[in-house]
Amino acid sequence: MGKGTSLDDPVTVEQKPDLVASRHEIEEYLNANRAYDIFDFMLKELLTKQPADPLQHMLDCLQTPHPNGPLKVVVASPPGLGRRALAKRLADTFGIVHISAGELLAEAGVQTDDVGFADDEVVAKIVIQRLRQVNDSMQGWVLDGFPRTRFQTSFLKEGSFVPAHVLLLKATESYIFEKNAAVGEGELEGKYIKPEVLEHKLRLHSGQDSAALEVYSDRMSVIDGQLSDEQISAEMARIARMVPRSRGPQPPPRVVVLGPRGVGAREHATRLAARLGSVLVDAQNVQGSRLVEEQAPEVTRKQMAGSGTRPGFSASLTSMDLPDQERLISADPLGAVGLRLRQDDCLKQGWVLCGYPSDASGAAALQEETRLCPTRIVALVASQETCVDRLRSIQTDPVTGKVWTSLPRNEHIRKRLLRDPGNQPGAVRAAHSAFSSNLPSIFEAFGGDDRCQELPADGPPEKVFNSLAEFVERPLPLPM
C-alpha cells in the first residue's frame, strides 16, 4: 500500500480521477461487447414470448453466442437450383439447425412432386411446429422452402419468427432446365424433376414467391444462382455474417482508409467523412512543411505557391493554427498526424484518416494509442492498370490550379498544363507494388482482426463507396 494511504482512505489528496478517460473506456467497452444490443434482444424476447420465468429466460438469452440472439436465415429460390443442399451447408457453417419444408413434408407423408406446392395450412402447421421447437431451445436456424405465399408469411409473423437475413437465389429458366437435365443424366448431384412438373413449379414460383417475400425487402439479399456451388455458399455465408445495425449510441468513428495511388482513397475518405459528420484528416496535408516540401511533386508545390497556402499543419482541413507546433509534433508518438487526431473536433466528432499509416511501424504506433485506436481499417484494392488508367489523363494548370481530366479547347491553356510525375505509369506501378507489399504487415500490426478489410475498388466509384460505407457503419460481422 502506498505511502499516505489507508484502508479508510485509499485515495490520496493528490490523486485526481480522469473522468474523460474513464468515460472513453466505458463507451468503448459497451460498444465492443454490444451491450445495448444484448438488452434490446432480451427485451424483444420478453415481449414476444412472455415466459413464465422471465429471469430464467433472460439467463437463457445470455447463453446465446451472439449479442443479437441466434442467427435466423430464410433461403428462397426457384425450384431446380439445389437450394436444400446450399441451405444445409450454410447451417453447418454456423452450427445452427437446418429446417427444410420439403423434408418435413416428406417425413409427414405429404407428396408434392406431382401437385406443385403443398397446401398452405398443411405446410405451415408442420414448419411452425418445428420452428417453435428450435426457438424454445434458443437455437438459430436456416429455413428453406418456406414461405412461398403471403398466407404462409402470415404464419411466421403471427409466431414472431423474424429472420435476420432473407437470401434469394435467382437464375434464368433456361439455366434451371439445363441444370435439371444435367442432374437427370448423372452429370450433377441433386434431385431430378420431371420437365413438365418443373415448368409448373416455376410458374407457381414466379406468381407467388415474390409477393411472399416483399415484407422482408429491408433484409433481403439477391445472389446469382448461376455461380458455382462454392461461390454461392461463400456469398451466403458472407451475407449471413452481417450484423444488423445497432440502435444503441455509438462512439465517434475512427476510420483509416488506405489504398495505392490512383485508387481514389482520398476522394472516398472525403465523402465518407461528410456522410459520418466526422473530420477528414489527410496525412499529406498534416505531415509538416519539411515533408511536404521534400516529397510533394512539382505541380503540388506550384499550386501551393500560387494559392498562398502554407504547407504544414495549418494546410489541413481545419482553421486551427496551434502555437509551438514543431515541439508538439516532435513530442507526439504519431507526429503531426497524432497531433491532429488529438484535437477536440476529432475526439468529439470522430475522424476519417487517409494516407497514413504507410508501413507496419506507423500502424503499430496508432494501434497502441488507447483513444486513437481505429474502429475500422479499410484498404481499397484495385489492379495496377486500373490505377494507371485513372491517372493517365490528369493534368494541372499551374496558373489557376484547376485539374483537367481531358484536354481543354484553349490552346494557351493546353500548352501550360503540367502532368504530376507521380501520375506517370511507371511511378503509379511502383507505388502500387510498394502498397501491396506493405499492406499485409500493416493489417498484422493492427491485429489482423475483423476491423481490417480489403474492398475491391476496380468497379464504379459509387459501388465502391457504398461497400465502404456499409462496412464502416454496420457492426463487425459474426465469426464463422
At 170, is the secondary structure helix, strand, or coil?
A: strand
Q: Which of the two residues, 318 and 45, has the higher pLDDT score?
A: 45
Q: Do domains 42-59+66-241 and 254-473 have the same CATH topology?
A: yes
The helix/strand count (H/E) of the chain reads as 22, 12
Which pLDDT score is estimated for 433?
96
Record: fold of 42-59+66-241: Rossmann fold (3.40.50)
pTM over 0.85: no
Domain ranges of the chain: 42-59+66-241, 254-473
Once rounded to an integer, what is the mean pLDDT over residues 245-267? Answer: 90
At 53, is the secondary structure helix, strand, or coil?
A: coil
* pLDDT bucket at 8, cuts 50 / 70 / 90: low
Once rounded to an integer, what is the mean pLDDT over residues 39-49? Answer: 85
Q: How many angstroms separate the CA atoms of 253 and 363, rounded?
A: 17
% of the chain residues with pLDDT over 90? 50
Q: How many angstroms separate the CA atoms of 285 and 282, rounded?
A: 6
Give, as one character, the DSSP assignment of residue 94.
H
| Closest listed residue to residue 148, CA positions, set 185, 190, 118 | 118
Once rounded to an integer, what is the mean pLDDT over residues 440-462? Answer: 95
| Residue 220, beta-bridge partner list | 166
The yes-or-no verdict on residue 134 having pLDDT over 90 is yes
Which pLDDT score is estimated for 18?
62
Q: How many angstroms separate the CA atoms of 368 and 349, rounded?
A: 21
Digit-coded pLDDT (tens) for 165-179: 999 999 999 999 999
Which pLDDT score is estimated for 318?
46
Digit-coded pLDDT (tens) for 272-330: 999 999 999 999 888 754 344 444 444 444 443 443 333 333 334 443 567 778 888 88
Digit-coded pLDDT (tens) for 186-220: 888 888 888 888 888 888 887 677 788 989 998 99
End-to-end CA distance of the chain: 46
Which pLDDT score is estimated for 387?
95
Q: How many Cβ atoms are within 10 Å of 317's Cβ, its own excluded? A: 14
Which pLDDT score is estimated for 68?
79
Q: State the chain's mean pLDDT as an integer.
A: 85
Position 424, amino acid: Q
Do 458 and 438 contact (CB within 8 A), yes or no? no
Q: How many angstroms separate the CA atoms of 155 and 182, rounded?
A: 36
Class for the domain spanning 254-473: alpha beta
The three cell numbers of residue 212 are 411472399
Q: How many angstroms separate the CA atoms of 124 and 309, rounded?
A: 70
Which pLDDT score is estimated for 311?
37
| Closest listed residue to residue 74, CA positions, set 246, 244, 207, 239 | 239
